[in-house]
Amino acid sequence: MTPHLGLTSHAFHDPGLIEEIQLLDHRIRFGPTHTGWVSFVARQGQSPAIVLAPDRETLLAQLHKLVEQQIPGRR
């Protein structure tokens, strides 16, 4: 039986390469697609934001920027 990885796994080229990190109070799942990288970023109880980038390094930089923008007082 195949483990169920959720709806986000359908966006990824290889669901086995999905990475997950916690950045402040944000849960981030990301991985490669056929054309680049995609991530799903969410705080608990909120709908996820989707971030796209051509490569992993650019994606991680965009994720850090997004999370920092959501911290009160840093806008």
pLDDT at 4: 41
pLDDT surpasses 60 at 1: no
For residue range 14-72, list pLDDT tens digits in order: 667 889 999 888 999 999 988 899 999 998 888 999 999 999 999 999 999 999 888 77
Residue 75 falls within a domain, yes or no? no
Residue 2 falls within a domain, yes or no? no
Which residue range(s) make up the domain with 63?
7-69
Phi/psi of residue 21, nearest 5 degrees: -135, 160
The total domain count for the chain is: 1
Calculate the CA 61 to chain-centre distance: 12
Residue 33 falls within a domain, yes or no? yes
The pLDDT confidence band at residue 7, using thresholds 50, 70 and 90, is very low
- CA 23 – CA 46 distance, rounded (Å): 15
Residue 1 falls within a domain, yes or no? no
pLDDT at 39: 95
pLDDT at 11: 59
